[in-house]
Homo-oligomer: A and B are copies of this chain.
Amino acid sequence: MSKTKVGIINVTGYAGVELARLLYQHPEVELTSVTGRSAAGQGLGEAFPHLASIDLIIEAELGEVDLAFSAMPHQASAKEVIPLLNHGIKVVDISADFRLKDATEYLHWYGFTHPAPQLLKQAVYGLTELYRSQVASAQLVANPGCYPTGAILALAPVVKAGLIEPDIIIDSKSGVSGAGRSLSQQTHFSEANEDATAYALDGHRHLPEIIQELKLLRPQQPLSITFVPHLIPMTRGILTTGYAPLASGKVSVDKKGREELFQLYLDFYKDEPFVRVVEFPPHTKHTWGNNLCLIHPTIDTRTGRLIVISSIDNLVKGAAGQAIQNMNLMLGIPEVTGLQALAIYP
């Protein structure tokens, strides 16, 4: 029996090469076509020596596939994806182009008029833990951003349960690969090494995505979310620390309340293969290279606040791994297929 053929549009960014790496080990699909304008014509292993075992030429245009991943930048991705959808091809779009439901947000946050607002309704937000059944029947899945993945998974249980007041602070620390493979002074080794900084204080593009999804979990509750991303000197990993006041009377502000909170998270994620609720503050290193999201919820008993910390590998659960998790569902393959590698440690 022949395997399902899949392709990667723009394999040359970090999400693209990570997709190639993970798909190489996937037993049920075959990567048959990869594109990348700048490197077109080169062998994949020529451009990326760690992929030398994959015998593919980087093409200018995608070959015939059953499902395509788009790892294009926003705005450009929609242009590539729309024709594929018209040809009945399934698509997991790693860009932001189909994540937001409200087309006007694209003008505000991304500076372009969305070319296909009607698709925004059809597209499924590919956070499997929240939209498993919709993903399974979708033609177009919008793969979540890296920050939103860690932030939404950390906060979803308490937002849905109405356990917190609406005042949420999300403080995220990201490895530098989150800024992509394009060169910039900010990501030049000598500048980023031994440095930490905050950025996008005026509002990061992942904020509307976080707001949209948390609001959908409890539409009746207004939310006031401040999100500050930070760049720290490591390659992979996002550590997200979320803070919010506990809603009065919902959970006791003591050791017992901590246990109830912990149980709430355990219950919420009890069937999730890629979320692990842990009893200690997680290390990003514990998810290095794999598709897990580790979550540690606790209560600051001095102040009655929720503190919740999540850890992911931004290129796996935050991008390529989650994309494959979505693909598995869309193709009717067991969700964990090809994604069971353990984190590499140390």
Contacts and interface: CB of A to CB of B under 8 A. Distances in A.
Contacts of A196: 173, 232, 234, 237, 239, 283-284, 311
Contacts of A305: 169, 226
B342 A237 contact: no
A248 interface: no
Given A300-B226, A303-B226, A190 B171 contact: no
Number of identical protomers? 4
A203 B241 contact: no
Contacts of A173: 173, 196, 230, 232
Contact of A189 (B235, B243, B298): B235
Interface string A184-197: 11011111111111
A61 interface: no
A338 to B, nearest CB: 11
A183 B181 contact: no
Contacts of A341: 25, 341
Closest 10 CB pairs of A and B: A190-B346, A195-B285, A50-B343, A183-B183, A189-B192, A171-B171, A50-B345, A196-B239, A198-B281, A177-B190
